[in-house]
Structures are given as C-alpha cells and as structure tokens.
Amino acid sequence: MRVYFCLLLVSIALVSCSKSDNASLQQEMQFGTEVRAVMPQQAAVGLGQSQDIGVFAKRSENPIEVNNIVSGIDNKRFVTNGNGLFRSEDLSVQYPAGQRIDIMAYHPYRRQLSDYRFDIDLSDQRRQADLDFMVSSNLSSVSSVLPSPQLVFERQLAKIHINISGSAGISMQGIRVALRGMRTGGFYDFRDEVLSTASNSIQDIQPLLTERGAFSRLLEVTIFPQRVTNAQQFVFTLANGREYRWELPTDSVFQQGYRYEYDIVLGGGEEIVNPAPPRIYFETPEIPQGTPRALYVTHMMPGNPTVRNYSLLYDTEYKMAYWVAYPLHASYLGTSGRSDAWGFDPLINMAFQSNLFRGFGIANTDRGHQIPSADRTVSTQANATTFYFSNMTPQHSRLNQGLWANLENRVRTWINRTDTLYVVTGAMATSTADPVVEFVTDNTGARVARPKYYYKAIAARTRNTYETIAYRLDNVQPINNDFTQHSISVAELERETGFVFFPTIPNQVKQRVNPSFWQ
C-alpha cells in the first residue's frame, strides 16, 4: 500500500485561522483497487485506466440510505489516470474530518441508480465487460488516517466459457447458440448487499461467439449464480439446421465469481453432448454466500502459472483455513524433500496471519500442515508453498505425527490406482457437540483458533467414474493410529461441516463408500 503525504504551505495567516488545537485536517479520498482472484485465470489485479467506479460513504455500521450518507459521497464517480489510484472525477471528494465511515464501491459505474439498486440485464451478451459487475465492501470504520486504502472487489456473477469444435470436418461457419431456461433480469441491492433475480425474466440468451477458425468457436456467457434445475440447456444449431443439445446437469452449481470452462465437440450421430466436468475448480468446495471473514485464495505452481497448486478458504479472525483443496497425481511429486521454508502467505495480508516462525510453544502442539509437505515435492519452490502460515493450524502432536501422518501417507498411495485424486483437507473451530471456539497464541501473542477436528474429503477419478470417501479426526491424542476407524461418507462430512464438497459429483456418489477401493 503506498503512502502519499500532502505538502502543506504554511503562512503566518494560518495562525489566525486556527481556532482549535483539535481541528482535523481533511485529506483527499483516493483508493487503490484489487479484484479478488476467485479462480486461477482471474489474477488479483487492479482495475485499469479505462475503468471507473461508483463510491458510497456512510456512517460506520449503518445501512446505506439517504440519511446515513456522509459528505454527499453518494454514488460518486472515481477514475484513474493509470497510476493505480482512483480519485473523484473532479478531485473534490475528501474524507470527512474526524469521522469514521464505511465505504462501498462498485464497477461498472452508472450515473443513475434507482433506490440504491444496480439493475442487471443479461439478455444482451455482446459486451462481456459491461456485465462484469463487482462490488467492494471491505473498508469499514476508516478515516483520513488511512492514506490510499485498497478497495477489494468481488465479482457478483458467474461465467461459462465453452470451446466449441466440430468433428469429421464439421464447420462452425454460421453456427448459432442459445442458452435456454436462464433468468436474465435481476438487481443488486447495496442496502443489504444481496443479489436477486427476477422470476419472470426467463428467456433465451444468445452467448457471445468469437471465431477461432473455420472449425472452432469460443462461447462466452455471463449468468447469475445458481443451482441448476432440469430446464436449462445449450442448443447448438449448425448452418444446415442440425441441432445439438447440452442439458446442464441437474443440481450442478455455478458459483459467484467463478468462470467455468468446457470443451464441446459437435458431430457424430448423437444429438445430446455431454462435456467432461470443467477443467478447473473440480476440487473446490461450494462456498456458502455470506461466509464471514472468509478469503478465497488460489496458489499456482511456482514457475508454471498455468498449473494450479492449491486453493484455500481462510478465516481472517480465526487465522486458519476452513479448507485447503488441491489435485494430487504423480506430476506433483518428486525428490525435493522438506524445505522448512516457514513464512507468510504472499497472497494474504500479514495482519490476518499467525506468526509461526517458531512453534506455538505449547506442549503437545505442532504447526500442522493442511496440504502436506510431502504432497508437493516436485521442486523446492513448490514444497515451500506448503509452509505458508495460512496452511498451519495448532494440531495435537500425537495426532499430527501419528494418525494424521498415516492417513496422509496412505492417500499418496492411491494415486497409483486412479487418474487424479482431488483432496480437500480442512479444520473446524467448532463442532456440533462443542460450539465454543478455543484460542491459543502465536509467536507474537496473537490469538489463533485451535481446531476441534480435522477432515479430508477425497474424490478419485478414473476416466469418467468417481469414488469418494471422507475422514473426520478429533484434534486430541488418538487412542491408536488406525485412520480407517474414522472414515465416513462425503455426504456425512457435508452435513457436519456445512460445506458442499465436489459440487459437480452427483449426491448418490458422495453418499456411498466403496471399502474395497480405499485399501
């Protein structure tokens, strides 16, 4: 965060104007920006020079309404000259002196809003940038003592990308595509920070098609976040009138801020096409809307930004990850060994992380990894990413070094019997039996939540079939080191934690466990 100082020209006349030693100097309101990276393809970058934002300032801890707006900062337009800072378009907006405020911002800017609502119409998909609606509400109780704070924007809608091609020389020239059964109308209410859709707005959507040659097209469509019913489908119509359909799987989920990528090949005798699950995010649990204090972070593999490493959902108050999700196969393993490169996660503000350069200093308590060090040994740099403090929790030593280690070792053996393992390792600060959060302290005396239990949810993919299993282990000294006694179904773990694991896998698969597979 850059700090900017105002240079004040002081004159003798200023002495006569000073009526109080407590008078506060006002400071121009300006912001840095960041778009939160929900997926690997969406890098955490700031908004660009050609973009603008709308800004509201209200009395701290009050809803947005006319009577709570401060200093007339009510949908003010802010722009940037490309230096990374957004300032009011006439450079006149200042922080109110001596008053703490909450700031909300959004993009793209609209001069006119109706009753603090941003109306959304997805029927016209020709300009995808105009549909990239995002909101920032991370700045609360701020004042002029914070120079150039960072607005962190979160995308509110979801996107689908489909790479369409034709088999056996089928041309894409003249192809038409319609997405049927989707709602196209809705609004975002800044007062309660809720996105709503209009039930009477269901109509066909014409996605944006970009030519990639005679035999391929890129399809882009922006939709509202939703759980799919049995009525939504893509219809692909070739120039000769031949139709193909992709019926979206019932109960699959399109989450806020995510971009889902598919490959579809048209041709052959089948009119129904069924692409493989999206190439990314498969292991990422569904994130409940309104999860408090949660940061979603994705790390890519060092030296190869096209390959994902792991993602985590991090609680900034408890200073622990609810889960760390990652793929596991032979390409992630090697001979680097353990780096012991303890350090802060570079993608999370250090103020939100525990300081654990040394252990917790508590008897029988280890700095327990969630993604294991031994799961990322292809290089020293990759292994170092497992030693980020965001990946650590206070774990009972006997559990960490015995029962938990045995489970981790067994999981790695399963990569030999499947194409890819998808693993979600997590920790919960409360349980159904014990809702009270227990805290320990880090190296600086800051509080860190001590998990009540740990879990793993695992999905094994072999071609187009899946096997699933889960484990739940209390954060206590175990009676023995037999992890098989702690196996449950993924569906049971979902009920316990409240998270939806592997959202694209049918529920019936998550409800069963095949013991012969998990030997």
**Average predicted confidence (pLDDT) for the chain:** 87
**CA 495 to CA 181: how far, in whole Å?**
30
Same domain, 453 and 499: yes
Give per-residue pLDDT as tens, 410-451. Answer: 999 999 888 889 999 999 999 999 999 999 999 999 999 999
DSSP code per residue over 424-445: EEEEES--SS--PPEEEE-TTS
Residue 159 has pLDDT above 70, yes or no: yes
Q: How many residues does the chain have?
A: 519
Is residue 12 very low, low, confident or very high in pLDDT (cuts 50, 70, 90)?
Answer: very low
Domain that holds residue 42: 30-155
Is 178 contained in some domain?
Answer: yes
Bridge partners, 461 (sequence order): 420, 466
Same domain, 173 and 249: yes
Same domain, 173 and 137: no
Q: Is 102 within 8 Å of 59 (Cβ atoms)? A: yes
Give per-residue pLDDT as tens, 185-240. Answer: 999 999 999 999 999 999 999 999 998 777 888 899 999 998 888 789 999 999 99
What CATH number has the domain bearing residue 438?
A: 3.40.570.10
Residue 18 has pLDDT above 50, yes or no: no
> What angle is formed at CA 423 by the lines to CA 422 and CA 429, rounded to 5 degrees?
150
Same domain, 151 and 168: no
Closest CA to 470 of 429, 419, 428: 428
What CATH number has the domain bearing residue 111?
A: 2.60.40.2620
Give per-residue pLDDT as tens, 329-382. Answer: 899 999 999 999 999 998 888 989 999 999 999 999 999 999 999 999 999 999
Give per-residue pLDDT as tens, 44-73. Answer: 456 777 789 999 999 998 999 999 999 999
Tell me the residue type at 8. L
Residue 104 has pLDDT above 90, yes or no: yes
Same domain, 130 and 260: no
Global confidence as pTM: 0.55
Is residue 19 very low, low, confident or very high in pLDDT (cuts 50, 70, 90)?
Answer: very low
**CA 419 to CA 423: how far, in whole Å?**
13
Q: Which residue has the tokens 């059964």?
A: 181
Same domain, 301 and 446: yes
Is 277 contained in some domain?
Answer: no
Residue 491 has pLDDT above 60, yes or no: yes
Same domain, 363 and 233: no
Q: Is 455 within 8 Å of 489 (Cβ atoms)? A: no
